[in-house]
Amino acid sequence: MTQTVFALLIAVMACVPVAYAADPLPYRVEIASVGDSDMDATLSATSDLRSLRGSAPVSSFGLIARARSDVDRLTTALESFGYYRCAVTIKINGIMLNNAALADALSALPKDGDAQVAIGFTLGPLYHLGSIDIDGDLPDAIRSTLGLSTGQPAVAAAVLAGGSRMLGALQERGYAFATVDSPVAYEAADSPVLDLRFHVVMGPKVNIGAIHIEGLQRVHESLLRARLLLRTGDPYSPSAIEQARRDLLGLSVFSQVSLAIGNAVDDSGGVPITFKLRERLRHVIAVNAAYSSDLGGSGGVTWTDRNVFGNAEQLSIAASLINFGGSNTRGVGYDTTAKFLMPDFGRRDQSLQFAVGALKQSLQAYDQTARTTSVTLTRKISSVWSASVGGATTDDQIIQNATTRNYTLFAVPMNLNYDSTNLASPLEDPRHGMRGSLSLTPTLALGHPNATFIISLIKVAGYFDMDHLLPSAPGRTVLAARVLAGLAEGAGEYSLPPDQRFYAGGSGTIRGYGYQLVGPRFPAGQPAAGTPIGGTAITAASVELRQRFGINFGAAVFMDAGQVSASLKSLTDEFRIGAGAGLRYYTPIGPIRFDVAVPTHRRSGDNAFEIYIGLGQSF
């Protein structure tokens, strides 16, 4: 009889459909707000339930374990903000984690059901700092660097940062082996107050010891020794050591420069410093391409030898084909250059560059075939200022308005540059700071007619991070603005060689208008009627709002305005405005740019819109 009943039970169970929870178990997470955006962001980033939900699926038992781990993680995060009596509550489908029925409830979920995870917080009182004691014989100037005061919130990050500042101040004053232990906190018995005690050991005051250089293969050590401002016997200073590391990395022949700092004094009585270097590949080939609807497509290749003779000399040979099918071009051209750069020429932070080139282009304004040579001496004045002076010659053949003229130009270009963006490459995306340049180029042009003139040009661009004005993370929303003004003095509009005149229109000045199409044009009845003449003065300005989305994408809206004329005075008839928008895809070497712009005042020959594609921001 018992066997019969048991068999019937098995048969009934086999016929009843049973729903089992999915493995892995999908779930959703809701994290309550504590009323502070910084804390909310930290809690969300701390939670494994939130960050691992999509990338690391778990079973029902794994979900419970992950939630229990989150209680500890989130409690630690709240304590770091000064809430040491906080509580973290996590419920799954409304059931507390410590409820024995939770595992069975999750196992009973249907396979297509999601578990609902709710995380809540009870902050408790905010703790503040009480007494702050420093155990050690320290000068008052060092004590003040702690930067903590009685009554401020007991935020862990601020307390630890104070200890780091005090240790940094000691090391900057030559106490290389100083120690600042993590503070010991004492909780007051009757109030939410923490008393702190720091234990500090200054150790001996030391100097820089022997300086060693490791890892060199082709680069000459004498170059590095001459470049280093750090010397054995100098007072020990972490900032001076780091600046020396950056100086070596700035030679562009090393992919990595790391430091090994001794933990005891050497025979010289100082701390030994070792620079460990990894040289970059000596030869590199780079390919470039760009497109705009006015100038058409271009593409080329550059071969570079980064270390020709062992002193970081750089030889670059570049060749490009330009003007494939542009609306403002009349044929394919070429642009070739060869440059030889000698760093630290004559003195530190001074370079000498020799260059030769050949250019052929057929534009609406003129046809040009040119051969150029130049030598340029550049000196870095400070971290943001540099200056250069040089000499240049150009053999030019220009065809404009059905007239062919040959010129030989002798110029002495002088430049003063400012850059506070702190970027290693001009292709990188500037998010703050300014760039500016002032150039003066006295020129003697031998041709028909001969002319002597000076071309001056000033450019200023500023980049403003909007994170302080908008609910945006740093670097996500940037307002960029640019102005430029140029003037050619000593020669009239027609006596100035056509390629030395100013033109506007295109990606470099006023987007929306074709390349060189802003400004005066030849009148009707002449062979080149309607084509640009060029001018002796230019003014232009741009403003652009850049917004990033996610990790790699972004967008921009912009407006450009300006004019070309025979003076810097504003002329209503010649002033032009272009506006547009674009997309950005951010890569490790800079953003890829796609812009579309329209002219606000179309004349004959102007397109309804222009397209620009390139690497790097427009300015």
Q: With respect to residue 323, please indicate whether it lies within any of the assigned structural domains.
A: no
With beta carbons less than 8 A apart as the criterion, state whether 434 and 479 touch: no
Q: Identify the CA nearest to 508 among candidates 540, 552, 553.
A: 540
Residue 295 included in any domain: no
Q: What token pair was written down for 422?
A: 């702190």
314 part of a folded domain: no
pLDDT attached to residue 284: 96
Task: Provide the 3-class DSSP secondary structure of residue 411.
Answer: strand
In sign, the C-alpha dihedral spanning 505, 510, 514, 518 is negative
Q: What is residue 20's DSSP assignment?
A: -
Query: What is the number of H-type helices and E-type strands within the chain?
Result: 9, 28
> What Cα–Cα distance (Å) separates residue 26 from each residue in 120, 260, 276?
20, 48, 49
Tokens 């991070």 sit on residue = 465
What is the enclosing helix (H) or strand (E) of 478?
strand 477-489
What CATH number did the domain enclosing 349 receive?
Answer: 2.40.160.50
Distance between CA atoms of residues 192 and 150, nearest Å: 13
Specify the CATH number for the domain of residue 212.
3.10.20.310
In a domain, 553, yes or no: yes
Q: CA 3, CA 5: separation in Å to the nearest integer?
A: 6
The CA distance from 243 to 249, in Å, is 10
Same domain, 193 and 51: no
What DSSP character marks residue 446? E
- The four Cα atoms 168, 169, 175, 181 give a dihedral, to 10 degrees, of -60
Task: Tell me, yes or no, whether 63 and 145 share the same domain.
Answer: no
Give me the residues of the chain with pLDDT under 70, please. 1-22, 570-572
DSSP H or E run through 319: strand 314-325
In a domain, 290, yes or no: no
In which domain, by residue range, is 257 found? 207-279
Out of 249, 279, 309, a domain closes at 279
Listed residue (466, 484, 483, 488) closest to 475, CA to CA: 466
Instruction: Measure the CA–CA gap between 212 and 304, rounded to whole angstroms.
Output: 29
Task: Tell me which of 122, 143, 176 is where a domain ends.
Answer: 122
In terms of Cα–Cα distance, which of 365, 352, 366, 294 is closest to 323?
Answer: 294
Residues 411, 416, 422: CA angle, nearest 5 degrees: 135
Please give the Cα distance from 454 to 420 (Å, whole number): 28
Is residue 248 located within the same domain as residue 156? no
Dist. CA 443–CA 171, nearest whole Å = 54
- Is 321 part of a structural domain of the chain? no
In a domain, 288, yes or no: no
| Distance separating alpha carbons of residues 89 and 101, to the nearest angstrom | 17
Cα–Cα distance measured from residue 544 to residue 416, given in angstroms and rounded to the nearest whole number: 25
Q: Please count the structural domains in the chain.
A: 4
Asked if residue 385 and residue 241 are part of one domain, the reply reads no
Instruction: Tally the residues of the chain.
Output: 619
Task: List, as one string, the DSSP characters of 453-477.
Answer: EEEEEEEEEEEEEGGGTSS--TTTE
Query: Does one domain contain both 462 and 559?
Result: yes
pLDDT for 22 equals 64
The answer to whether residues 372 and 394 touch, using CB atoms and an 8 Å cutoff, is yes
